[in-house]
């Protein structure tokens, strides 16, 4: 009896809702710093704000213990040039990381300067960051003294960045020693350690609560942010948070372009909890957003992520040589020591592989040749990398239980046989609020961190920017009073949230999400024109006016999914407006306008911004490096930075 229909078959009744229903109850919470989203950035923001001596409330849709993309784990602490084994200067590395177009210079500089300190703080609170058990003695990259394990990633070649497939000579590393900027870590230990530290510091944690909207001073769009509303996704209870400063750390959106009705959980790279709520609420509050037109194909062959993280779609993922069905080695780089960190075949090598497949030179399917690796490297990849990365721990467990033994077995790879990802299957992440050197948005009182800054980010980026935003928000909260709330704004938001529970039939959240996703696929995907984009806006308006009023939810959980759909809808509208505003194509943004075919014309190399002013869309622009000199500005804004936290 572990499925709901077992109950139905037992006595004809579904199990009762297990939590008390409290739709009619309201709770008010007052705090100094409100953190919205308790993932990696959110937990770090809460910890650093609390360490700066202010009251903190942390609100999380799931349970902070394992929520977010980094909840299950992490095995790479990326871009840590300040670590003692690194051979490059942090500022030079930050500059290198922002050599591509449309980076987040502020976030990257913070990451490169502070993520090593963050890592040491993580160790203080119980995160495992060194091979203290001597499990991997003899592995390449292991430093016997510090017991740090350096990853081959970015050691010489940084193939994530187009055009940088050749080793780059850094001024700070003239002899081209290995860069050593990525550290392997035992990330399954991180999230529980972060939650424990939040509790120890007295952070008030609200798990299973979805934040739905920001409150602004006097209810005015564009005014200072003074709190937020939310509700429990188990009881339905309404919550009003009053704060002096808020940190938005809700990450991106992987649900805007895709819903596979029966396999929804694993058809994207993030769990369903990441639905663009952050940008939707920042937009409604009047914050200026940028890079919202950036959406990218998911690049998951079948749309099912396990083929990637099964070490299969990418058995080559790190150090695992790829062989064909007859055992012939493929010229596919493995982002490993042998390839100096290169991840993808260069276009001409890829061409050769494709030809080889077509002529039978390379027999399908391909395999990851685990047995062909040196013992210690195999152990590192299978046990440490896959064991700790994230959703991969259950892969190593369940495959081993089913008899897979990496010493003897080749793991199948799905390149070619699973086809390519459709260009219409896209993520919508990498855009977000415009920020300044305090990670403050254009609204007073509102800060951002992690993937919610306009960046793809990664785990250590989220941690370092969260920690930074937390201390800046705390400092601001110490200088300002609680703002004046508008009761009307709260009442309107309450009505918006509870509308779906007033109905018992109509359109449910899955149908609505699929409808929005289809609109985005048709009108805002691979090829864009003004006509298509405007049709997209009309289509979303039609959904808003005709189908949203029919949205229904039978319990608080489905109510959350329904309200998330409204975020998804708003997010879609923002993407369409931003896409209309960029009247040029861009390779790096994966943005192609048939009506403006010139790719990255110089006069369009700038950030396009969008925001609501009196509920009207206003567009604007910012120069590419609007943050100025990264090193100088970082230093000017952080004269009082104290480095690694000392327990007081």
Partner 1 sequence: MAQNKVYAVPNIISPNTPVIFNPDICDGCNTCVEVCQVDVFIPNPEEGKPPIILHPDECWYGGCCVNHCPRPGAISFNWPVQQRAYWKDKATGNVFRA
Ligand X SMILES: Cc1cc2nc3c(=O)[nH]c(=O)nc-3n(C[C@H](O)[C@H](O)[C@H](O)COP(=O)(O)OP(=O)(O)OC[C@H]3O[C@@H](n4cnc5c(N)ncnc54)[C@H](O)[C@@H]3O)c2cc1C
Residues near partner 1 (CB under 8 A) are: 1-9, 12, 15-18, 61-63, 65-68, 71-72, 188, 208, 233-234, 261-266, 270-273, 304-306, 310, 312, 327, 365, 367, 369, 371-372, 390-391, 393-395, 397-399, 401-404, 408-412, 557
Q: Buried b / exposed e across 277-304, counting CB within 10 Å, b at 16+? A: bbbbbbbbbbbbbbbbbbbbbbebbbbb
**Smallest distance, Å, CB 95 to partner 1?**
35
Residues for the chain: how many in total? 648
Q: In angstroms, what CA-CA distances link 582 with 18, 585, 586, 592?
A: 49, 8, 9, 10
Q: Which of 301, 450, 483, 515 binds ligand X (CB under 6 A)?
A: 450
Binding to ligand X (CB under 6 A) within 72-101 occurs at 74-76, 78
| Contact partner, 41, from ligand X, partner 1, none, Cβ < 5-8 Å per class | ligand X
Q: In angstroms, what CA-CA distances link 60 with 2, 44, 76, 460, 494?
A: 27, 13, 24, 20, 19
User: Which residue shows structure tokens 């943004």?
Assistant: 589
Kindly state the tokens that stand for 462.
Answer: 């989220």
| Contact partner, 89, from ligand X, partner 1, none, Cβ < 5-8 Å per class | none
Kindly state the tokens that stand for 591.
Answer: 């943005």
| Contact partner, 4, from partner 1, ligand X, none, Cβ < 5-8 Å per class | partner 1
CA angle 475, 481, 486 (to 5 degrees): 125
| Contact partner, 371, from partner 1, ligand X, none, Cβ < 5-8 Å per class | partner 1
Measured CA to CA, the distance from residue 269 to residue 281 in angstroms comes to 23
Residues 6+ apart with CB under 8 A from 229: 211, 212, 213, 215, 238, 239, 240, 241, 490, 493, 494, 497
CA angle 175, 178, 181 (to 5 degrees): 125
Binding to ligand X (CB under 6 A) within 333-372 occurs at none
Kindly state the tokens that stand for 501.
Answer: 């529970």
β-bridge partners, 58 = 35, 205
Strand ranges in 11-128 using DSSP code E only, listed in sequence order: 26-30, 33-36, 56-60, 76-77
Pairing verdict, β 56-60 and 33-36: parallel
Stretch that binds ligand X, among 106-114, 248-256, 425-433, 542-550 (CB under 6 A): 248-256
122: number of Cβ within 10 Å? 26
Alpha helix (H) ranges present in 418-555?
Answer: 459-477, 487-498, 509-523, 530-542
| Contact partner, 75, from partner 1, ligand X, none, Cβ < 5-8 Å per class | ligand X
Per CB under 6 A, 303 contacts ligand X: no
363: number of Cβ within 10 Å? 14
Per CB under 6 A, 249 contacts ligand X: yes
Per CB under 6 A, 236 contacts ligand X: no
Closest CA relative to residue 327, chosen from 358, 372, 285? 372
**Smallest distance, Å, CB 446 to partner 1?**
25
Binding string, residues 259-298; x marks residues near ligand X by CB under 6 A: ----------xx--xx--x---------------------
Tell me if 221 sits within 8 A of 492, measured CB to CB. Answer: no
Cα first-last separation, the chain: 51
Binding to ligand X (CB under 6 A) within 135-194 occurs at none
Q: Which of 89, 389, 493, 565 binds ligand X (CB under 6 A)?
A: 389
For 247: left if phi > 0, alpha if psi spans -120 to 50, otherwise beta; the answer is beta
Per CB under 6 A, 548 contacts ligand X: no
| Contact partner, 37, from ligand X, partner 1, none, Cβ < 5-8 Å per class | ligand X
| Contact partner, 12, from ligand X, partner 1, none, Cβ < 5-8 Å per class | partner 1
Kindly state the tokens that stand for 558.
Answer: 């489905």
Q: Whose Cβ is closer to partner 1: residue 325's or residue 594's?
A: 325
**Smallest distance, Å, CB 233 to ligand X?**
9
**Smallest distance, Å, CB 45 to ligand X?**
9
Q: Which of 194, 320, 462, 517 binds ligand X (CB under 6 A)?
A: 462
**Smallest distance, Å, CB 542 to ligand X?**
25
Residue 29 phi, psi (nearest 5) = -125, 130
Per CB under 6 A, 60 contacts ligand X: yes
Per CB under 6 A, 38 contacts ligand X: yes
**Smallest distance, Å, CB 359 to ligand X?**
35
Q: How many CA atoms lie within 13 A of 468 on its CB side?
A: 31
**Smallest distance, Å, CB 391 to partner 1?**
4
Measured CA to CA, the distance from residue 284 to residue 613 in angstroms comes to 9
Q: Whose Cβ is closer to ligand X: residue 289's or residue 537's?
A: 289
Q: Whose Cβ is closer to partner 1: residue 130's or residue 409's?
A: 409
Tell me if 183 sits within 8 A of 151, measured CB to CB. Answer: yes
| Contact partner, 178, from partner 1, ligand X, none, Cβ < 5-8 Å per class | none
| Contact partner, 402, from partner 1, ligand X, none, Cβ < 5-8 Å per class | partner 1
| Contact partner, 590, from ligand X, partner 1, none, Cβ < 5-8 Å per class | none
Q: Whose Cβ is closer to ligand X: residue 272's or residue 593's?
A: 272
Kindly state the tokens that stand for 597.
Answer: 């075919």
Tell me if 466 sits within 8 A of 473, measured CB to CB. Answer: no
**Smallest distance, Å, CB 202 to ligand X?**
20
| Contact partner, 602, from partner 1, ligand X, none, Cβ < 5-8 Å per class | none
Per CB under 6 A, 391 contacts ligand X: yes
**Smallest distance, Å, CB 468 to ligand X?**
13
**Binding-site residue total for ligand X (CB under 6 A)?**
41
Q: Whose Cβ is closer to ligand X: residue 74's or residue 140's?
A: 74
Per CB under 6 A, 458 contacts ligand X: yes
Q: CA gyration radius for the chain?
A: 24
Per CB under 6 A, 48 contacts ligand X: no
Q: Is 538 helix (H, G, I), strand (E, B) or coil?
A: helix
Per CB under 6 A, 69 contacts ligand X: yes
Residues forming the site for ligand X (CB under 6 A): 36-42, 59-62, 67-70, 74-76, 78, 210-211, 249-251, 269-270, 273-274, 277, 309, 389-391, 450-452, 457-460, 462
């Amino acid at each position: 009896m572990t499925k709901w229909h077992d109950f139905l078959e037992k006595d004809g009744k579904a199990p009762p809702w297990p939590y008390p229903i409290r739709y009619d109850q309201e709770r008010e919470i007052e705090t100094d710093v409100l953190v919205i989203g308790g993932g990696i950035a959110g937990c770090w923001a809460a910890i650093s704000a609390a360490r700066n001596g202010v009251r903190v409330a942390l609100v999380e849709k799931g349970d902070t213990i394992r929520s977010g993309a980094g909840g299950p784990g992490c095995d790479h602490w990326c871009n840590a040039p300040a670590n003692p084994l690194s051979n490059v200067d942090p500022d030079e590395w930050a500059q290198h990381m922002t050599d591509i177009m449309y980076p987040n210079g502020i976030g990257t500089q913070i990451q490169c300067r502070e993520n090593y300190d963050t890592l040491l703080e993580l160790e203080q609170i119980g995160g495992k960051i060194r091979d203290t058990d001597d499990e991997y003695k003899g592995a390449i990259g292991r430093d016997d003294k510090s017991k740090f394990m350096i990853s081959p990633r970015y050691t010489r070649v940084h193939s994530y960045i187009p055009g940088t497939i050749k080793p780059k000579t850094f001024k700070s590393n003239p002899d081209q020693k290995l860069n050593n900027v990525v550290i392997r870590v035992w990330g399954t230990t991180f999230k529980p350690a972060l939650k424990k530290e939040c509790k120890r510091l007295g952070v008030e944690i609200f798990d299973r609560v979805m934040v739905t909207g920001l409150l602004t001073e006097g209810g005015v769009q564009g005014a200072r942010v003074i709190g937020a509303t939310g509700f429990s996704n188990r009881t339905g209870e309404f919550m009003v948070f009053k704060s002096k400063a808020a940190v938005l750390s809700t990450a991106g959106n992987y649900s805007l372009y895709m819903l596979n009705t029966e396999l929804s959980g694993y058809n994207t790279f993030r769990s369903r909890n990441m639905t663009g709520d952050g940008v939707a609420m920042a937009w409604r509050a009047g914050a200026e957003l940028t890079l919202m037109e950036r959406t990218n194909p998911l690049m998951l062959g079948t749309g099912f992520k396990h083929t990637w993280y099964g070490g299969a779609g990418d058995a080559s993922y790190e150090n695992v040589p790829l062989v064909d069905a007859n055992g012939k080695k493929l010229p596919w780089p493995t982002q490993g020591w042998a390839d100096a960190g290169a991840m993808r075949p260069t276009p001409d090598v890829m061409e050769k592989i494709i030809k080889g497949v077509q002529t039978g030179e390379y027999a399908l399917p391909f395999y990851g040749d685990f047995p062909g690796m040196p013992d210690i490297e195999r152990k590192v990849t299978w046990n440490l990398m896959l064991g700790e990365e994230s959703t991969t721990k259950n892969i190593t467990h369940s495959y081993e239980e089913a008899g897979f033994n990496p010493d003897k077995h080749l793991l199948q790879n799905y390149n070619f046989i699973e086809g390519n990802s459709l260009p219409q299957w896209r993520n919508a992440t990498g855009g977000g609020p415009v920020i300044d050197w305090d990670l403050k948005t254009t609204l007073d009182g509102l800060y951002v961190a992690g993937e919610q800054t306009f960046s793809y980010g990664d785990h250590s980026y989220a941690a370092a920017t969260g920690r930074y935003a937390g201390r800046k928000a705390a400092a601001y909260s110490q200088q300002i009073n609680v703002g004046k709330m508008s009761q009307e704004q709260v009442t309107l938001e309450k009505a918006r949230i509870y509308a779906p529970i007033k109905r018992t039939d109509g359109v449910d959240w899955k149908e609505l999400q699929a409808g929005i996703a289809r609109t985005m696929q048709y009108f805002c995907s691979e090829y864009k024109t003004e006509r298509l984009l405007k049709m997209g806006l009309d289509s979303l308006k039609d959904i808003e006016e005709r189908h949203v009023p029919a949205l229904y939810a039978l319990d608080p959980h489905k109510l959350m999914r329904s309200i998330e759909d409204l975020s998804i809808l708003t997010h879609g509208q923002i993407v369409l407006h931003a896409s209309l505003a960029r009247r040029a194509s861009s390779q790096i943004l994966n943005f192609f306008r048939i009506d403006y075919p010139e790719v990255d014309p110089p006069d369009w190399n700038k950030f396009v911004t969008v925001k609501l002013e009196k509920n009207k869309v206003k567009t604007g622009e910012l120069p590419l490096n609007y943050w100025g000199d990264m090193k100088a500005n970082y230093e000017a804004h952080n004269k009082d930075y104290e480095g690694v936290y000392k327990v007081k």
